[in-house]
Amino acid sequence: EFDHITATISLYRPGPMDFIPDFIACLHGEKQPEYVHPILEPILGETMAVCVYQEQVIQILADVAGYTPGEADLVRRGISKKSKKTLDEHREIFAKGSGEKSGLKRAEADAIWDALMGFARYGFNRAHAADYAVIVAQTAFLKAYYPVEFMAALLTIERHDTEKIGLLIAACRRMGIEVLPPSINVSSNNFTVEQL
């Protein structure tokens, strides 16, 4: 699914990579998602109980503790900048707000906050991940259905990097694509598809 590609892009970063095995196990039904608190299930359900996106951080702050989206975004920024003063302040605000809005006890609020701090430092913007996922899907389509043209384009893009050219030619061979040597009679400046 497209959402799985988006999540993979967001998870494949230092920090969130630790959650990839759990995400995959939950995705394939080998394991049940483990939520820090059941109140998080509607927000983290699509990402297998892992807080992957910055937008989820904002939604948790808003839905659980009553932050406005603007206030929640300021906290998200504080988390990414590791501002201890901001985070200490908001631990208290979150605990108070989650008690008033969601009826959580202090220990429950602290558990959610601590989990949030672990996730949010590495949270990725979902819109950016979705943009990258579109490119991944398009690239995979082109490689699957137009492999010769795709590899010719890649080779042309990387034509000034001899190390990458060697890797790409090896990939062509694995795919059963013959890469011909230069010919004074037919070669052009770029890699092209030879019509045989």
State the pLDDT at residue 165: 95
Q: Per-residue pLDDT for 142 more than 90?
A: yes
pTM: 0.79
| CA-based nearest residue to 119, from 23, 54, 191 | 54
Q: Is 48 left (phi over 0), alpha (psi -120 to 50) or beta?
A: left
Tell me the pLDDT tens digit for each residue of 5-22. 999 999 988 778 888 999
State the pLDDT at residue 38: 93
Tell me the pLDDT tens digit for each residue of 96-135. 999 999 999 999 999 999 888 877 677 788 999 999 999 9
Cβ–Cβ < 8 Å for 195, 152: no
State the pLDDT at residue 139: 96
Round to the nearest angstrom and report the end-to-end CA distance of the chain.
Answer: 38
Q: Per-residue pLDDT for 196 more than 80?
A: no
Q: Per-residue pLDDT for 174 more than 70?
A: yes
